Amino acid sequence: MKAENDNYRSPRFRCMIIPKKAYFCSQNFRKMAKKEDENLIDVGKVYSQSEEFVEKNKKPLTIAVAVLVLLIAGYFGYTTYLDGQNKEASDSIWKAEYYFEIDSLDKAINGDGQYFGFEYLSENYGHTKTGKLANYYLGLIYKEKGDYDLALEYLMDANVEDDIIGAVALGNMGDIYIDLGDYMEALKYFNKAISHSDNSFTAPIYLNKAALTYTALENYGKATDYYQQIVDDYPNSTEAREVKKNLAMVKQLAG
């Protein structure tokens, strides 16, 4: 019933049943029709402009689509290429790792005539994960040999994503700067190693090294903070058991 009453109240219904208002309704209908025509014209104009734009820009648009397709194909092609390269390198690195483990460092670097060493893998597969791992090993080896510049260069190129190995690479850069006497730079890399991975193996090690460095710099407040973090956050670590005396000492020195 309500729907019927609503229909009775509609302008169109009133115009149909009230003759005196027929003129005014006719005028209103004309205005409404004109507005609808204008809307139709606007839509048609927009559609026409769109067609004109596409027609004028057909060649650039075709080129853009073609370039996009090539980029996508190139990305997947390069990814497949990288996968193949990484497999080749990973199949070869095991012998160099073996020589590294038994401290035959020259063979680890250069290979043994039958198997490639880390240097070859770094030069030829440096863009792969295995190549970056070879850079990591080379950094450790040259650090051991005392060639710090070369060690830092390889460790920077390692860019290892692994939680443990990545932290150790950064921590070793901190160790090198300690040996070079640049304690502030060493602290930068110890802190990067700590931030790289919040794990109970590497984090306490580099917190401890940072605390020792701050102690050497006589910044006992900072040293206290780092030692305390080891005790609070990694209570089951080896470092937590060993740093308690140092923590008590720096607290006393900090006043």
**Residue 91: predicted pLDDT:** 77
Same domain, 245 and 220: yes
* CATH code of the domain in which 224 resides: 1.25.40.10
Same domain, 228 and 203: yes
- 138 burial (CB, 10 Å; 0-12 / 13-18 / 19+) is buried
Query: Please, which pLDDT band fits residue 12 given cuts at 50, 70 and 90?
Result: very low
CA end-to-end distance (rounded Å), the chain: 89
Residue 167 lies in a domain: no
The model's pLDDT over 144-162, given as tens digits with 9 standing for 90+, comes to: 999 999 999 999 999 788 8
Same domain, 32 and 75: no
Same domain, 120 and 93: yes
**Residue 56: predicted pLDDT:** 54
**Residue 159: predicted pLDDT:** 79
Residues 208-217 as b or e (16 or more Cβ within 10 Å = b): bbbbbbbbee
> CA dist 76 to 34, 59, 88, 129, 227, Å?
56, 26, 19, 17, 48
> Can you state the angle between helices 244-254 and 220-233, rounded to 10 degrees?
150
- 132 burial (CB, 10 Å; 0-12 / 13-18 / 19+) is buried
Residue 174 lies in a domain: no
Domain that residue 209 falls in = 184-255
Residue recorded with tokens 């900090």: 254
CA atoms within 13 A on the CB side of 164: 2
Contact residues for 96 (Cβ-Cβ < 8 A; gap 6+): 107, 108, 111, 115, 116, 117, 118, 121, 134, 137
Portion of the chain with pLDDT greater than 70, in percent: 65
Cα distance between residue 43 and residue 104, in whole Å? 79
**Residue 160: predicted pLDDT:** 81
**Residue 58: predicted pLDDT:** 52
**Residue 72: predicted pLDDT:** 54
Same domain, 143 and 92: yes
Same domain, 33 and 66: no
Same domain, 154 and 62: yes
Query: Please, which pLDDT band fits residue 252 given cuts at 50, 70 and 90?
Result: very high
**Residue 93: predicted pLDDT:** 92
The model's pLDDT over 15-62, given as tens digits with 9 standing for 90+, comes to: 433 333 333 344 444 444 444 444 444 444 444 554 554 455 555 545
Residue 176 lies in a domain: no
Same domain, 49 and 70: no
> Can you state the angle between helices 202-216 and 163-179, rounded to 10 degrees?
20
Same domain, 82 and 46: no
Same domain, 26 and 72: no
The model's pLDDT over 159-207, given as tens digits with 9 standing for 90+, comes to: 788 899 999 999 999 999 999 999 999 999 999 999 998 899 999 999 9
The model's pLDDT over 207-246, given as tens digits with 9 standing for 90+, comes to: 999 999 999 999 999 999 999 999 999 999 999 999 999 9
Same domain, 43 and 68: no
Q: How many structural domains are present in the chain?
A: 3
Residue 177 lies in a domain: no
Whether 89 shows a pLDDT value over 70: the answer reads no
Same domain, 51 and 143: no
Residue 101 lies in a domain: yes
Q: Please say whether the beta carbons of 250 and 234 come within 8 A.
A: no
Residue 172 lies in a domain: no
Query: Please, which pLDDT band fits residue 127 given cuts at 50, 70 and 90?
Result: confident
